[in-house]
Structure 1
Amino acid sequence: MNHLFDRLLQEGNGGERSLTFIPSAELEETEQEIHLKLEVPGMEAKDLNVEVTESTVSIKGERKSESKTEEKGVVRSEFRYGSFERVIPLPAPIQTAHVQANYKNGLLTLTLPKVQSAPQSTVKVNIS
């Protein structure tokens, strides 16, 4: 349980700890591909940095806050702003050169083709 709270709390500039934005993810594996979806609402594609290795996907970004002023009353916001980074381990090796990404309506969708292993074959070896 402590790891969950440590993941949600990040240290700010003054040493205080506060809640931070961490995008939710959904991973689906098929025989040929891995499909990864991340919820990153309120951002634009240009604000996201996606890096892929054979075994992980790293997503970085920053959700910038909008400053609001109100003359009568108090403004309260439960939105989370700030920078985030999430590294997701993949269940199988992927072909990094063929990754496809799409961003629409706050949903980042990655299609990660798996490395196709050569079919295993048995070869008779002659002994001399």
Structure 2
Amino acid sequence: MSIIRWQPFREIDSIQKEMNRLFDQLTPHFDGEKIGLGFVPPVELTEKEDTIHLKLEVPGMEAKDLDVEVTADSVTITGERKSETKIEGKGMTRSEFYYGQFRRVVPLPVRIDNQNVKAEYKDGILNLNLPKLEEEKHKVVKVNLG
């Protein structure tokens, strides 16, 4: 019987690669009470002088599958991506897409006029124009230096 030299760094490297692969597939999200794993659509928030522009990426979904709620200080987007996988015969189907429900709450940096929000959904991108309240537009904060 021959002696094989143990190389611990090779095993650590293998474990690290496997952990990286696992975490690349999972995205953490917060659903109010606990942290879970699932799909969280990416958001881009841009603040201008009189509006806030929110862009949310949800490719492959239709507008009817999204629910958008806007309050004066946050935007909540919920939706569900449904699987349409068909398995025929004895073949195997493999999917790397995420199917299921998601919920994304985006806190806003200033209060907005949620009665005049404009929305557009095209090519998997949800665009929201959120007008600021009048008192937020002209808000001046005095800084105390001493």
Q: Same fold (TM over 0.5)?
A: yes
Report how many aligned residue pairs link the two structures: 110
Runs of at least 4 residues of structure 1 off by over 6 A? none
Larger radius of gyration: 2
SS at structure 1 position matched to 2:29 = helix
Match 1:82 to one of 93, 97, 100 = 100
For the aligned residues, what is the CA RMSD?
Answer: 2.6
5+ residue gaps, structure 2, are: 1-25, 31-35, 140-146
* Residues 49, 113 of structure 1: alpha-carbon distance in 2 compared, 3 angstrom cutoff: same
TM-score by length of 1: 0.76
Whichever structure has more strand as a proportion of its residues is 1
5+ residue gaps, structure 1, are: 9-17, 121-128
Match 2:133 to one of 108, 115, 123 = 115
Name which of structure 1's ranges 63-72 and 27-36 shifts more when overlaid on structure 2.
63-72
Give the Å deviation of 1:5.
5.7
Give the Å deviation of 1:74.
2.3
Distance (Å, rounded) in 1 between the aligned partners of 2:111 and 2:51: 10
Between the aligned residues of both structures, percent identity stands at 57
SS at structure 1 position matched to 2:79 = strand
* Residues 51, 40 of structure 1: alpha-carbon distance in 2 compared, 3 angstrom cutoff: same
TM-score by length of 2: 0.67
- The residue that corresponds to 1:31 in the other structure is 49
Q: Does 1:101 align with 2:119?
A: yes
- The residue that corresponds to 2:29 in the other structure is 7
